[in-house]
Amino acid sequence: QTIWWGNWLSLVQWALALLLLVVPVLYECSRTFKYFCKMAFYNGWILMLAVLAIPLCALRGRSVENMKIIRSMLHHVKHLYGIRIEVRGLENFNLAEPYVVVSNHQSSLDLLGMMEVLPDRCVPIAKKELMYMGTVGLACWLGGIIFINRKKTDDAIGVMSETARTMLRDNVRVWVFPEGTRNHNGSMLPFKRGAFHLAVQAQVPVIPIVMSSYRDFYSKKERRFTTGRCLIQVLAPMPTQGLGPEAVPALTDRVRQAMLDEGSSGGDGRGFWGREGDYSGVAGEGGDGGLAGEGGDQFAG
């Protein structure tokens, strides 16, 4: 029998067959394996989409208009992962003038929510390391994404000041994650002030966005990634006209407080971060409330 099989299957074919058998079994049985598969596919898929986006964007050169291409090409990714996104308050974006969008930052999955609501002519501010992520970096550059060096404050501030001029000159909106880094722990970290200096320098409104916690369907710490639901609330614009640099700390606190208030009472009164009353930024993972992932812990996706 061995000879018979040997005639039919080379070593490579055997390995492939084994792989085809083992991978689905592991995928179904191991939460960790499933998590890594899903994350690997997420990154790989986006790298691949970027390959397609690059020539399309290159036709125009580096331009914020290319964000429309990127947005439309990323829009379907939530469906691949069974993530339902509900958006409220989109009308708050209906301003003719430029503005600065600020939102909480949980994970690279924020890209899905961002692409759900990203207004036209709006570019994110990103750490410059993103520029070196292969095809993704090039696509980001072509989309006009603004890169800052977080290790060099003066450089970053210089880029932000230049951005204030660009916003007014070219009617560009800017999206900033004021926590300055990803925060997997629910609620929000203290805010950096760059976004608010930017808004004051350009004398444009700040539009805060709160994205509900992914805790019920995604946890990096627990290696858990299932299907789920995310609620995004766009808050009312907060004006900066007439404010000077001395007003930036108060503006920062005001915006953060508005987001915390929405996080605590919004989302049909159930809160956005799963644990009402705990907004210190140190809430543990695996909370049991919140709006994310109302489908439960089904590990189905």
**Complex with ligand LBKI3ST6: residue 73 or 235, whichever CB lies closer:** 73
Q: Which of 146, 147, 153 has the alpha carbon at shortest distance from 174?
A: 146
Q: Looking at residue 174, what DSSP letter applies?
A: E
Binding residues for ligand LBKI3ST6 restricted to 251-290, rule: CB under 6 A: none
Alpha-carbon distance 70 to 211, whole Å?
Answer: 21
CA-CA-CA-CA torsion sign (16, 17, 22, 27): positive
- 193 is a site residue for ligand LBKI3ST6 (CB under 6 A): yes
Helices (H) and strands (E) in the chain, counts: 10, 9
- 111 is a site residue for ligand UBL (CB under 6 A): yes
- 131 is a site residue for ligand UBL (CB under 6 A): no
Reading the block at residue 194, the tokens are 């760059």
Alpha-carbon distance 209 to 93, whole Å?
Answer: 11
Number of residues that bind ligand UBL (CB under 6 A): 14
User: What minimum distance in Å lies between the beta carbon of 152 and ligand LBKI3ST6?
Assistant: 7
- Which one of residues 34, 35, 38, 46 is an interface residue with ligand UBL (CB under 6 A)? 46
- Which one of residues 127, 128, 184, 254 is an interface residue with ligand UBL (CB under 6 A)? 127
Alpha-carbon distance 201 to 161, whole Å?
Answer: 7
Q: How far is CA 92 from CA 228, 255, 256, in A?
A: 26, 15, 17
Binding site for ligand LBKI3ST6 (CB under 6 A): 46, 49-50, 53, 70, 73-74, 111, 124-127, 136, 139-140, 145, 148, 150, 153, 156-157, 160-161, 176-178, 180, 192-195, 197-198
Binding site for ligand UBL (CB under 6 A): 43, 46-47, 105, 108, 111, 127, 130, 133-134, 136, 177, 181-182
